Amino acid sequence: MSTMHIRTRFAPSPTGFIHLGNLRSALYPWAFARHNQGDFILRIEDTDLERSTQEAVDVIIEGMAWLGMDIDEGPIYQMQRIDRYREVIKQMLDAGLAYPCYMSEAELNALRDAQMANKEKPRYNGLWRPEPGKVLPPIPADVNPVIRFKNPIGGSVVWDDAVKGQIEISNDELDDLVIARPDGTPTYNFCVVVDDLDMKITHVIRGDDHVNNTPRQINIMKALGGTPPIYAHLPTVLNDAGEKMSKRNGAMSVRDYQKAGYLPEAILNYLARLGWSHGDAEVFSKEQFVAWFDLDSLGRSPAQHNPEKLLWLNHQYIQQADPATLAEATKPFAHELGMDTEQGPDFVQVVNLLKDRANTLIEIAEGAKLFYLPAPQFSAEQIAQNIPEAIIPALKDLIAAIAQAEPKKEAYSAAFKQVLAQHQIKMPALAMPVRYALFATTQTPAIDSVLVVLGKDEAINRLSRVVS
């Protein structure tokens, strides 16, 4: 084990909708390869031509890049390896490891019906399987054969699953798998085996919906003279209602999370904990994750998606982020909302002011509107309604005090205190009209900080419009 060069792969089928849970199946093999200075390969299992889409491939590749899962080899597309699969099928036929089966669709159905009627598990009966001394039926002229793998008879397939422990499946459970269809195209389980062997995969870390495929794959692999990799089958990710994740019940793709203002670091951290743990660590960097990752700490029961936890983590990462980097990440959202962040206050300062209360970049961008939308225009009636007549003298004194103050939070705070004392009033009585005068709202971050960010001249201009 210590001298083994670790090679893992993520082998998605680009069919349908790629949700966040799907990318967890990329994260663990990636982390395992990185932890062991091994190689991580991306293999696109696109042989289901009807269901595979370029859109799904793009979502996978972009999502992985955004989350920082770098790839050493690939993407390798199975459709580009069809010749290789055909070559191996031919070798297997030549070596007697596989055989053509001429059973027609109708015969197969009749066989299945008869087995079901007898309460037997439907399985191919080995009619065309060559055995020493066995006479095969005459080859029908009008049937294109499938190619079947000669599964071992008797004994069982055993593997030590790194998550599920030892699994043993009797060969009696496994019939002779079709490895090529009548038109010669290779089938799914067969391509996986050829690829895992050719790509020298040492650890197959994948969803446990593949457990049933594993004994078949191991048998084919052994027939081809290969050593099966170590398998780690990951329990499913359920949605927050405890159901299988799917677009229909509201699952989001990684792209959706990006658009909703999540940081890739938060998503990566979140996905890492969705079925793996390191003591009680909840917030950790990508580097820590890689340093800590091992197969032993993978969870054995289904993980459940928890949107609140993801939001909480995003908040943690927003708070921790370097202000300039966070501002860069927030800019596209601000631009999307129609703000010109080049005009007006320094955007880094704005973001820094807003980040403590925000859970997403969109929330920061929404908050930034205060500083980038044009100054509100008021009718005389609006002013009369929102700025009490009695507070006008205090506001005038505040304008004067702000004008004298150093452009710093502490100085503005002192200016407020001085006016409050002078007029014998409480903070809300002054701060609410100030907020309204500045932004036409009473909801803003701390007013002294807001003044710093908005800028002294702009603040005085806006305040002066309501006192004259």
Q: Given the rule CB under 6 A, which residues bind ligand GLU?
A: 11-13, 45, 192, 206-207, 210
Q: Minimal CB distance to ligand GLU: which residue?
A: 206
| Count of helix runs (H) and strand runs (E) in the chain | 19, 12
Minimum CB separation from ligand GLU for residue 9, in Å? Answer: 7
**Residue 284 Cβ, how far from ligand GLU at the closest point, in Å?**
26
DSSP states along 305-330: --HHHHHHHHHHHHHHS-HHHHHHHH
Q: Which is nearer to ligand GLU, 192 or 401 (CB)?
A: 192
What is the nearest approach in angstroms of ligand GLU to the Cβ of residue 288? 26
Least distance to ligand GLU from the beta carbon of 218, Å?
A: 12
Burial (CB count <10 Å: 0-12, 13-18, 19+), residue 466: buried
Q: Is 25 or 269 the residue whose CB approaches ligand GLU more closely?
A: 25
Task: Closer to ligand GLU by CB, 13 or 352: give it.
Answer: 13
Residue 238 pairs with which residues in a beta bridge? 244, 304
Least separation in angstroms between residue 239's CB and ligand GLU is 18
> Phi and psi dihedrals of 159, rounded to 5?
-140, 155
Instruction: CB nearer to ligand GLU: give 210 or 369.
Output: 210
Our CB check for ligand GLU shows the closer of 46 and 448 to be 46
Q: How many CB atoms lie within 10 A of CB 94?
A: 9
Nearest distance, CB of residue 164 and ligand GLU, angstroms: 15
**Which residue is it, tokens 């005009």?**
343
Length of the chain (residues):
468
Shorter beta-carbon distance to ligand GLU: residue 207 or 226: 207
CA-based max dimension of the chain:
112
Supply the DSSP string of 386-448, one letter for each residue.
HS-GGGHHHHHHHHHHHHHS-SSHHHHHHHHHHHHHHHT--HHHHHHHHHHHHHS-S--S-HH
In the complex with ligand GLU, which residue's Cβ is closer, 126 or 207?
207
Contact 419, 394 (CB under 8 A): yes
Shortest approach of ligand GLU to residue 89 CB, angstroms?
A: 19
Nearer to ligand GLU, 207 or 455 (CB): 207
| Least Å from the CB of residue 273 to ligand GLU | 22
Judge contact between 72 and 50, C-beta under 8 A.
no
Q: Which residue, 271 or 399, is less far from ligand GLU as judged by CB?
A: 271
Bridge partners, 165 (sequence order): 161
Would you say the C-alpha torsion 367, 370, 374, 380 has a positive or negative sign? positive
The token pair that represents 164 in the structure block: 């599920």
Question: Please, are residues 430 and 394 in contact by the beta-carbon 8 Å criterion?
Answer: yes
We find the least distance from the C-beta atom of residue 219 to ligand GLU, in angstroms, to be: 15
Strands 203-207 and 230-234: parallel
The structure tokens listed for 349 are 């300062």
